[in-house]
Amino acid sequence: MHPLFEKHRSVLDGALEAMRTRGYWSAYPEQPSPKVYGEAANDEGKAAALGHAGRQFELDQPGRIGWLASEHSPYGIPLEVEYPVCEPQALIDAALATMPAWQKLGVEGRTGICLEALARLNKASFEIAHAVMVTTGQGWMMAFQAGGPHAQDRGLEAVAYAYREMSSVPSAARWEKPQGKNPPLVMEKRFEIVGRGVALVIGCGTFPTWNTYPGLFAALVTGNPVIVKPHPNAILPAAISVRIVREVLAENSIDPNLVSLAVTSDPKSTQALATNPAVRSIDFTGSNVFGRWLIDNARQAQVYAELAGVNNVVIESTDSYKAMLKNLAFTLSLYSGQMCTTTQDIFVPANGIDTDEGHKSFDDVASDLGRAVDKLLSDAAVATAVLGSIQSPDTLKRIEEAPALAEIVLASRKLDNAEFPAANVHTPLLMKTDAANESVYTEERFGPITLIVKVPDAMAAIALSEKIVKERGALTVGLYSTKQEVIDAMTEATLRAGVALSINLLSNVYVNQSAAFSDYHATGANPAANASYTDSAFVANRFRVIQRRWHV
């Protein structure tokens, strides 16, 4: 048994058991606590992350032809980290050269090394989290949790799913076929797990580790070299991660060019890389336009794509009006709605809803939700921590232009951030519109923009939700209802449309959150994504079984 497999066996067993039950489980502590991570972890991690600013980030990769510094912090923190730009073909050639040794290491060896890499990423959680924070504009706690332990959990989940699939193939078999009174036919057989070829993992600007680790580790553990191509504005967390993985590889006498970083701010260069014949799988998180281009053009590769969607919530009735509003207000505010899981549309019947506080008209619900958002963000410290900063100029533009679309319930306000004066802190914009104005609410408006949509009744709301999921895609939908028949109808609608449903969320679980090992992130069954974190389908097609047999 490979020593690193043995070392991390209990973590793997925990993950496998969690996958079997899908109850709560996590390998990496989510609290940035000094007790867990060490008294100096935060200071050292922050210093390490910010210490990259203005420097060349050395990775010792082949084919270096220059340096690129493309990041602008949404907090206005000076970065100017220079990353090595490498000839794509040099990265690919080096990657291919590493494959045979990586394959020969076997399932347990590759799994052990991936688990060691995840443990080392966990140790670097503070450095990575500060890098996530400064490049994405996330608030600190989210940057730590989603960028650190939760991302590591998603990576571990991919390793464990792939391990389960690979280890279900025996490496050897003895085949004895009875021949009546004659001696049996006997054969020895061997089965080898072989990767598909170079894997390309294309990251997004908002969750540079959480959306990168699943593809990175799924491809790696199944025997494939991986080229990580981060978003040009969120390279640092990926670069630190790639460096750590390369260190672990080198320590284990594996050519570190098995995992490399490709940086570019030119989509044409990414397109050329994605269509290289040696690239056999692509994991992509990002826009519909580029994702569609990949699916249409990178035909030599299996593309796992998470694209845009129009997440929505149906409110039919509730027995906890205040808690519902509070729960939704947090969802709409968290990271200023810059999550692929944030609710955009809220469908409310025209004649209002029944609640524990009496009947509420459509307008009541809209304005009460606006007030709940306002209340949540009334404390400046809470507001800046929850909202973070707007990551992209495109989102700023959408916030600016959106008020023309519909009637404003709550205007977006720009807040000051005392620590980072250059931060773009924007509170959610809530608007209301009629279901007839489809163009207003059926298009994805990424960022802190919410449409409260007036629908004829609850059944119309459910039908509209189903239609939008089927046509536009969604990662999440929610329902508030006290009536079993409404819950049943929404359940059926989400089974038909293929989307995860959260019912009556009131306390500290939010529709935009998915927990590794329990919640599947995306279903692969609607246009928002063609794959899920993580199920069998996410890993099973990343390797092949090659057999040989001979008579005994």
Contact residues: a copy of itself, CB under 8 A: 19-24, 100, 103, 164-165, 168-170, 173-179, 185, 187, 189, 191-192, 194, 196, 296, 299, 491-492, 494-496, 498-509, 515, 518-520, 523-525, 532, 535-537, 540-541, 544-551
**For residues 236 and 500, which CB has a smaller minimum distance to a copy of itself in the complex?**
500
**For residues 460 and 540, which CB has a smaller minimum distance to a copy of itself in the complex?**
540
Residue 395: closest CA among 335, 442, 435 = 335
Cα separation, 10 vs 12, whole angstroms = 5
Distance in Å, CB of 490 to a copy of itself, minimum: 9
- DSSP annotation string for 190-225: EEEEEE-SEEEEE--SS-TTTTTHHHHHHHHHTT--
**For residues 341 and 384, which CB has a smaller minimum distance to a copy of itself in the complex?**
341
Tally of CB atoms within 10 A around 99 = 19
Q: Cα Rg for the chain, rounded, in angstroms?
A: 25
Distance in Å, CB of 234 to a copy of itself, minimum: 28
Distance in Å, CB of 14 to a copy of itself, minimum: 15
403 by Cβ neighbours in 10 Å (0-12 / 13-18 / 19+) ranks as middle
**For residues 419 and 550, which CB has a smaller minimum distance to a copy of itself in the complex?**
550
Distance in Å, CB of 544 to a copy of itself, minimum: 4
Q: Characterize 231-255 residue by residue with b for buried, 16 or more Cβ atoms within 10 angstroms of its Cβ, and e for exposed.
A: bbbbbbbbbbbbbbbbebbeebebb
Distance in Å, CB of 153 to a copy of itself, minimum: 13
Cα separation, 493 vs 489, whole angstroms = 6
**For residues 103 and 450, which CB has a smaller minimum distance to a copy of itself in the complex?**
103
Cα separation, 166 vs 51, whole angstroms = 40
Cα separation, 539 vs 222, whole angstroms = 8
Distance in Å, CB of 238 to a copy of itself, minimum: 27
Cα separation, 424 vs 400, whole angstroms = 13
Q: Which residue has the tokens 């307008």?
A: 363
Distance in Å, CB of 423 to a copy of itself, minimum: 30
Distance in Å, CB of 44 to a copy of itself, minimum: 26
For the four alpha carbons of 109, 112, 116 and 117, in that order, the dihedral sign comes to positive
Distance in Å, CB of 417 to a copy of itself, minimum: 29
Q: Are 425 and 406 in contact (CB under 8 A)?
A: no
Residue 214: closest CA among 261, 156, 127 = 156
Q: What are phi and psi of 341, to 5 degrees?
A: -110, 0
Distance in Å, CB of 495 to a copy of itself, minimum: 5
Chain centroid offset of residue 92 CA = 25
**For residues 56 and 536, which CB has a smaller minimum distance to a copy of itself in the complex?**
536
Supply 355's token pair.
Answer: 């609640």
**For residues 245 and 499, which CB has a smaller minimum distance to a copy of itself in the complex?**
499
DSSP 543: E
Question: Bridge partners of 360?
Answer: 353
Distance in Å, CB of 499 to a copy of itself, minimum: 7
**For residues 225 and 230, which CB has a smaller minimum distance to a copy of itself in the complex?**
225
**For residues 350 and 506, which CB has a smaller minimum distance to a copy of itself in the complex?**
506
Distance in Å, CB of 316 to a copy of itself, minimum: 14
Chain centroid offset of residue 480 CA = 26
**For residues 302 and 437, which CB has a smaller minimum distance to a copy of itself in the complex?**
302
**For residues 265 and 320, which CB has a smaller minimum distance to a copy of itself in the complex?**
320
Q: Give the relative orientation of helices 213-221 and 106-123 as an angle to the nearest 10 degrees.
A: 150
Q: Which residue has the tokens 């209990």?
A: 10
**For residues 408 and 515, which CB has a smaller minimum distance to a copy of itself in the complex?**
515
**For residues 53 and 503, which CB has a smaller minimum distance to a copy of itself in the complex?**
503
Report the Cα–Cα distance between both ends of the chain, in Å, rounded.
27
Q: Are 60 and 374 in contact (CB under 8 A)?
A: no
Distance in Å, CB of 527 to a copy of itself, minimum: 11
What is the enclosing helix (H) or strand (E) of 358?
A: strand 358-360
Residues 6+ apart with CB under 8 A from 522: 306, 475, 528, 529, 531, 532, 533
